[in-house]
Structure 1
Amino acid sequence: MTETGSEPPPMNIGRVEPRLIEREMSESYLTYALSVIHSRALPDVRDGLKPSQRRILVAMNDLRLRPNSKYRKCANIAGTTSGDYHPHGESVIYPTLVRMAQKFSLRYPLVDGQGNFGSIDGDPPAAMRYTEARMNGEATEMMADLDKETVDYQPNYDERLDEPSVLPGRFPQLLCNGSDGIAVGMATSLPPHNLREVCGAIRAVLADATIDANELCKIVTGPDFPTGGIIMGRRGIHQAYTTGRGRSIVRSRYHVEEARGRSGKEQLVFTEIPYQVRKIGIIDKIVEVVKDGRITGISDVRDESDRDGIRLIVELKKNEDPEVIVKQLFQFTPLQTTLSIINLSIVDGQPRTLSLRGMVDAYIRHRKDVLRRRTRFLLRKAEERKHIVEGLRIAVQNIDEVIRIIRASKDTDEAKGALMAAFALSLAQSQAIVDMRLGRLTGLERDKLEAEYEALLAEIADLEDILRRDERVVAMILEDLDDLEAKYGDDRRTEISAEEVDGSFDIEELITEEMMVVTFSRDGYVKRTGLDTYRAQGRGGRGVKGSESKEGDAIRSLFIAGTHDYVLCFSNLGKVYWLKVYQLPEGGRTSKGRAIRNLLELAAGEVIHSVLRVQSFDTERVVVFATKKGTVKKTALEAYSRPKKTGIRAIALEEEDEVVSVALAQPGDTVLIGSAQGRAVRFDEQAARTMGRVSRGVRGMRLKPDDEVVSMIVLPSDADQTGVTLVTACLNGYGKRTLAADYPIKGRGNQGVINIKVTERNGPVVALRSVVDGDDLMFISQSGMIVRTAVDEMRPMGRNTQGVRLVNLKSDDALVGIEAVSAEDLELEARNNSGEGEATEPGTDATTDPIVAQAAAEAVEDEVDTDTDSDGDED
């Protein structure tokens, strides 16, 4: 109601048609989708251009901006394009113009730009009022014969002008420069290729229409990116070329250099990066993965690129493996990318996915159509000229009569009519005669006229022959290809590697190969620590703290292994589990590690009793088991190479029996079993036959009721000749070193010979290990203390002796195990320690080593004494 109380006047809303909203939205969305597909996102297969690109080139052609002309402001080009052909605003047109001028975006740029057109770092171009441009030679090839009715024209947006619906496309734009775009419900990603290879493929198809995809893939070996790089493998390329869709891995090109002025350090130098990846994005990602700890071996990243090319420097920390770091970079940064190939384009008004052969065929069809239309245009022009020349010949032959008729006529129209009536001429011929100059009547001009007539007859015959014979059109295409290749052909920039990768990495490739000390505790805690953490000390020393065991726990086993080695974990239930050393948690010397139950799927009440280091599962070696009750079993190593997450059966055990030792053996070796009461049995490996994985085994040693097996050692066949010795360690820290040759090789199943005198001072035997001169020994106590001593400091003794003090234990501590460090491992440690201070020599004060001294200082509250002690040698 209005203020006066009267009704408001009715609104003139026009015609209203009820419609279902579902139908209206469906039809409107379909119209929008088709508009995006045809008019914005997808290229035409014939000239390989999107509408915006085509209109920019047409506007530049109108402005006569050819390679030999002066540059013109990009604002002028964008304005002309927007005003005449593409009414979407200059800010939309200019980025398209810029991309067509960027040498890192297009393999063969269509625009020759002058000024700042952006950079591979992602820097934006200057404003269009500052930059200038003109067409490149490749763009003029796209325009060739545009004025000869070779393509259809259509009205522009305001029907003021006509624009070509497609360009003649002499240059194979779609194949050479590719295209990318996202339409509604579909996307295209056509990679660029090398012009020489593309021309070769077109020639091959023209020569043999039945050529298969495999032969074509031998000619076009793969995409060729403007930024170079390396494509890993041909499988994805072949799939894309045969089906129209595929995926390939593209890696950066790099080499390794020694860092300038930094001895011992190396740096990775990347000189080519994947296509459409910005260098600044790579740098930011490297910084990110270094900060979050995914890559730890990088000390610096810097960009030394200049106008001559890319030079991205990744400086490594000292002693880092460049191959490992580069694989980590490929895994976590855009230095390696996955290229998705989708050969989608507009074919006959519809989006279609094409194979390589399909794109080549589309180019050939278009060029044949263009050349035939050009030929028909030239033929029409030649026939029109021939018609005129025929009229001029008639006039010259009857010149006196022609002059008389013209002089007698009142005006030009009357003269043309009289000439048409007198000589049966057409209007065009009579017009040409009236326009003819008197100079054409000379003898020389008459000869020229006859020569032109004969040339026109020959030209017409040649053009008609082209239209009749397809091989003539093919020859013209081949001639164009030769010309294009001579003008614009160049060498490949992207390398195709034979190495096939799927974009994922084996985790081992990202792990540096290094030696580790692997520690297992009795309560099932595991860790790995760098071997160089432990340095040599004198015999009898107290050592440094090796593990911060939880209360009531003790170190059970310690061994040396490489990060890529396998660890076979044998449980008290007779099962075996499979791990890699790098899968174990890394911890410091004093850390207790992580419960192995978190790494393995153990059953209730199941614990890991023994572990075995394996570098490879070969067919010659066998696994030898020894149980607490004296049983031994031998099984082929290969039987344990395919375990499950939940473990597999390793040995069948009697009730209340458990595995105490597992070792590898090969033909010719001998097996030595030692008991807690100081007895030892040595027998040939062949004395125990090879059994299946789940068998029980045979008797290895006959034990007294109060005795049990504590260790098993596999000795090589030449142990007696090479001076291999056995170190026996007892609970109270005493023990000795004895030559292996002192232990006779007898049959299995007996009580054996005396190994060491088990006395109240010594306590029962804890473990036996085989060593040679040059090795080191690590002694592990119940409280987690570790003492490392050179074997050379221990002189060999007889079997029937008490031995000497091996390690100085506290009154409430006990020795629980020993482990040998081989001479080879010591050499590796020395290399790891190079440049970080020399290892302490055997027999010297361990506190002179800075690392050990620091550990000692940290362990004051634990009452750890690092002074050596040479107490109590006693035979």
Structure 2
Amino acid sequence: MSDQADAPNMDLSEPLRRALGERYLTYALSTIMHRALPDARDGLKPVHRRIIYAMHRLRLNATGKFLKSAKISGDTMGDFHPHGDAAIYDAMARLAQDFNVRYPLVDGQGNFGNIDGDNPAASRYTEARMTIVAEAMLDGLDENAVDFRDNYDGRLEEPSVLPAQFPNLLANGSSGIAVGMATNIPPHNIAELCDACLHLIKTPDARDDTLLNYVPGPDFPTGGIIVEPADQIALAYRTGKGGFRLRCRYEVEDLGRGQWQIVVTEIPYQVQKSKLIEKLAELIQTKKIPILGDVRDESADDIRLILEPRSKNVDPDVLMGMLYRNSDLEVRFSLNLNVLIDGVTPKVCSMKEVLRAFLDFRREVLIRRSQHRMEKIDHRLEVLEGLIVAFLNLDRVIDIIRYDDDPKAALMREDWSKDHPRAMNEADYVGPGPGEGELSDVQAEAILNMRLRSLRRLEEVELLREQSALMEERAGLEDLLESEDVQWDAISAQLKATKKQFGKDWDGGARRTTFAEAGTVEDVPLEAMIDREPITVVCSQMGWIRAMTGHIDLTRELKFKDGDGPRFIFHAETTDRLVVVGSNGRFYTLSASNLPGGRGMGEPLRLMVDLPNEAQIHAIMIHVPGRKLLVASSAGDGFIVPEDEVIAQTRSGKQVLNVRGDNGVAVCKPVSGDSVAVVGENRKVLVFGLDELPEMARGKGVRLQKYKDGGLSDATTFTRAEGLSWNDPAGRTRTETELTEWHGKRASTGRMAPRGFPRDNKFN
């Protein structure tokens, strides 16, 4: 029964699996081909291509009128792109943003967004038209240069690709995410791309690295400086995958009297200025970069970000090096040249393959346009032959038109190779020859549509001149179609004209992004970034911490909040790092320069580090590199830890001593000497050698002293020869050198403390 019950399920699951696979594959292919990946030939996705074609149909030329963006996006949606008008308008707005597109294809009028990240105004408020760059993308569209296909409902036709004059894929770049693949292409300089294409025409088997002599790297619309090594750039263009490190451009502005500030004039590509400023302000507030004093935005139409150092003694290169690592003043732009190489097949290409695909496409466009032009010439020559026959036999033509009931048929029946009055002694007669005396339907129609004022002698001369010029042009087209070399010469001439049109002399044609070596940004110690000044660190019983200016008297009475009082107070310097020990066994690190000033009551330490509410502050000390600490829990377990190991890099701190239950940190003291003294809550003292304690970076530790009741009260280290010291109840310092009675093995119980030992069970 079980097998019979399972059999139908097995039969049904297979068709379902197949159906899901087929449908998901269809969806994936649709996403790849019709949405996410650009075409290598014109560098456009379908939505961008349809927007430009819709603007072309609306006659929105670069020198013409503007039209409401709502009309453009509406026509695009209704005729060619049946998706949301908001998505279409967003795509169109991006084509108009000169900070996003290296060569904008849309000329916008109104609010089309800005580099701060503000969105464009609604489509009903903005107007647009094409730019001359977009017109260059359309050149030849009406000359059968590309194939047309039916639109989504079959009412109209749309171009499957635009006859681009330049490699727009690399010129403006592209980005997109498909199913299982993505693309990310930076923009480049048109003039450099044209030079690379010209070299590729001359040397078809040119190496990929040779093209870098013409296209050294991306050319971002926002400028900046590329600091990626040349060999990595070459590898990226050779494989189609890689990345480019891009930095801001800045200058150091002298303010006089030794003061200076950094002025950032260009920010990296696709970095929103407002978010960049927020990040820089956060770095100042959190004091992650202590040498950065202030940031402000003085930008108008251009970029002008002011970075003020905290001190004039700061090195500008050091400051910028830290900002590169901690903000978007340096970014990495990834390269993934994944494109539809023939309009159908996705492929990760090298730069040479992309340029080769564009050149092959330009040759196809040239041939199609030449053939289309030849057809137009042949049609016009046919008409001209008929018109010339009419001029040479004008009286007969007028007679037929005037008296014949069907002049068109009569004109086509007439044998114009006979000697008609005007045809006699005409040396320039080029009408129908022997056996070709009849006019065609096209010629007869042209004669009948001819205006009376065209019957003057001068018009006849113009027709002969036009016929001669067309015959000469036709001969040139025949030579072009028959010779591949002539075709490449024509393409080279077109590329040179495009380079001249959009080159460095054109507004916006000069290269904006430059190249430089990244250099090495060395880790600068905190002491080098902060002015060294004396401070007094004060922490209250409730955990409010502050830094008083200068080294004040430690016995001086200070103000605290009601119900609060002093707990930790010690002298330090602004360059010091402080180690905060929590009762939970976690160690936290603070910079003394980041402490709040001493004019107020300070700030809660728990706001600066992630110290849990149930944990208390056990100790605060100045970090001394190379020093070792004795740490122990109230359960009586402990070990030696190098102080360098307890330094934490994050707010959450670093777990050093593992404690459980109600136990917590009981001891954290610097190590000095060769012996350890331990006292329990039972007032028993044990002395043993320091070498019996292990040195660890983290853990529970080993048993220091054995207890029947209670736990560890205190522990310290000392030099055996100098003796163990403590303060007696009268406040006098007492030193005991004869410790044989209390000396024993680690983890033993020990003996009762000597007479005069403090009642709080604490060593000095």
Could you say which residue in structure 2 is the equivalent of 1:453? Answer: 467
Q: Which runs of 5+ in 1 are unaligned?
A: 1-16, 518-532, 536-541, 545-559, 564-582, 612-658, 661-763, 766-781, 784-809, 815-875
Q: Partner residue of 1:252?
A: 248
- Aligned runs of 1:759-778 on 2, under 5 Å? none
- CA offset at residue 92 of structure 1? 1.4
Describe the superposition over 1:709-750 as per-residue Cα deviations: whole angstroms up to 9, x where unpaired. xxxxxxxxxxxxxxxxxxxxxxxxxxxxxxxxxxxxxxxxxx
Does residue 312 of structure 1 match 2:331? no
1:344 alignment partner, one of 338, 342, 361: 338
Deviations 1:632-682 (A, max 9, x none): xxxxxxxxxxxxxxxxxxxxxxxxxxx99xxxxxxxxxxxxxxxxxxxxxx
Cross-structure match for 1:218: 213
Alpha-carbon deviation of 1:408?
4.9
The answer to whether the aligner puts 1:484 opposite 2:480 as a matched pair is: no
Secondary structure in 1 aligned to 2:331?
Answer: strand
User: 1:296, CA displacement in angstroms?
Assistant: 2.3
Q: Equivalent residue of 1:219, what SS?
A: coil
SS in 1 for 2:275: helix
Deviation track 1:166-222 (CA, whole Å, cap 9, x = no partner) reads 111113311211111111111111111112211211111122222212221121111
Match of 2:480 in 1: 466
- Residue 270 of structure 1, CA deviation: 1.5
TM-score of the pair, normalised by structure 2: 0.65
1:128 Cα deviation after fit: 1.2
Match of 1:857 in 2: none
> Are residues 1:299 and 2:293 paired?
yes
Pairing 1:86–2:72 present: no
Native 8 Å contact 2:400 2:411 kept in 1: no
Q: Which residue of 2 aligns with 1:69?
A: 64
Counterparts of 1:271 and 1:397, CA distance in 2: 73
Check conservation: 2:397, 2:411, Cα contact below 8 A. Answer: no
Could you say what secondary structure the match of 2:333 adopts?
strand
Q: How does 1:576-725 map to 2 (within 5 A)?
A: 592-593=621-622
- Contact 1:299/1:317 (8 A) holds in 2: yes
Q: Distance in 2 between matches of 1:324 and 1:204?
A: 42
Provide the residue aligned with 1:238 in structure 2.
Answer: 234
User: Is 2:510 the counterpart of 1:495?
Assistant: no
Does the alignment pair 1:379 with 2:374? yes
Q: Structure 1 runs of 4+ off > 6 angstroms?
A: 513-517, 583-590, 595-600, 604-609
Q: SS of the counterpart of 2:445?
A: helix
Q: Kindly state the Cα deviation for residue 512 of structure 1 after the two structures are TM-superposed.
A: 3.2
Q: 1:514 to 1:280 in 2, by over 3 A?
A: closer
Inter-CA distance 513–401: structure 2 relative to 1 (3 Å threshold): closer
User: Structure 1 pair 413/264, CA: closer, same or farther in 2 (3 Å)?
Assistant: closer
User: In the aligned structure 2, how far is the partner of 1:258 from the partner of 1:404?
Assistant: 93
Task: Return 5+ residue gaps in structure 2 as ranges.
Answer: 1-11, 418-436, 504-508, 534-548, 557-572, 577-587, 596-618, 630-636, 645-672, 675-720, 736-764
| C-alpha displacement of 1:368 | 1.1
1:457-505, Cα deviation, whole Å (9 max, x unpaired): 211111101111223222322322233233322221111113367xxx6
Percent of aligned pairs with the same amino acid: 41
Moved more, 201-210 or 411-420: 411-420
How far did residue 359 of structure 1 move?
A: 1.6
Alignment pair present for 1:132 and 2:146:
no
Aligned with residue 39 of structure 2, among 41, 44, 55: 44
Contact 1:290 1:298 in 2 (8 A): yes
- Kept after mapping to 2: 8 A contact 1:304/1:311: yes
Report the residue type matching 1:300 in the other structure: D
1:351-430 paired onto structure 2 within 5 Å: 351-419=346-414, 423-430=437-444
Deviation at 1:94, TM superposition (A): 0.8
The 8 Å contact of residues 155 and 161 in structure 1, kept in 2 or not, is answered as: yes
1:522 — aligned with what?
A: none
**CA distance 1:508–1:397, shift in 2 (3 Å):** same
Kept in 1: contact 2:412–2:439 (CA 8 A):
no
Does residue 159 of structure 2 align to residue 164 of structure 1? Answer: yes
Measure how far apart 1:339 and its partner are. Answer: 0.8
Q: 2:449 — aligned with what?
A: 435
Question: Which residue is 1:326 aligned to?
Answer: 320
| 1:368/1:500 CA distance change after superposition, 3 Å | farther
Number of the residue aligned with 1:728: none
Q: Secondary structure at the match of 1:20?
A: helix
- Counterpart residue number, 2:609: none
Please report the TM-score for the alignment, with normalisation by the length of structure 1: 0.57
2: CA distance, partners of 1:509 / 1:594: 14
Task: Return the offset for 1:534.
Answer: 10
Cα pair distance change 1:407/1:587, threshold 3 Å: closer
Distance verdict in 2 for CA 1:534–1:193, change over 3 Å: same
Aligned to 2:275: 281
Instruction: Provide the C-alpha distance between the structure 1 equivalents of 2:170 and 2:90, rounded to a whole number of angstroms.
Output: 22
Counterpart of 1:287 in structure 2: which amino acid? A
Instruction: Check whether the contact 1:117–1:126 (CA below 8 A) recurs between aligned residues.
Output: yes
SS in 2 for 1:290: helix
Describe the shift of the 1:439–1:306 C-alpha distance in structure 2 as closer, same or farther (beyond 3 A).
closer
Q: 1:408 to 1:592 in 2, by over 3 A?
A: closer
**1:312 positional shift:** 1.3
* 2:105 is aligned with 1:110: yes
Paired residue type of 2:267: I
Name the CA distance, whole Å, in 2 between partners of 1:36 and 1:220: 31
Residue aligning to 2:91: 96
Cross-structure match for 2:709: none
Does the residue aligned with 1:315 lie in a helix, a strand or coil? strand
Residue 116 of structure 2 aligns with an amino acid whose one-letter code is: D
Letter matched to residue 497 of structure 1: A
| Partners of 2:314 and 2:134 in 1: CA distance | 50
> Aligned equivalents of 1:116 and 1:25: distance in 2?
45
The 1:587–1:60 alpha-carbon spacing in structure 2 relative to 1, beyond 3 Å, is closer
User: Could you tell me whether the CA contact under 8 Å between 1:420 and 1:427 is conserved in 2?
Assistant: no
What's the RMSD between the two structures over aligned residues? 4.4
Report what 2:30 is aligned to.
35
Distance 1:402 1:265, change over 3 A: closer
Count of residue pairs the alignment pairs up: 556
Distance 1:256 1:811, change over 3 A: farther
Please give the alpha-carbon distance, in whole angstroms, between the structure 1 residues aligned to 2:262 and 2:355.
40
Following superposition, the deviation at residue 395 of structure 1 comes to 3.5
| 2-structure distance, mates of 1:343, 1:511 | 46
AA matched with 2:482: R
Task: Give the direction of change, closer, same or farther, for the CA distance of 1:96–1:264 in structure 2 (3 Å limit).
Answer: same
CA distance in 2, matches of 1:586, 1:509: 12
Q: Hey, what does 1:743 align to over in structure 2?
A: none
> What SS class does the counterpart of residue 528 from structure 2 fall into?
coil
Counterpart AA for 1:316: P
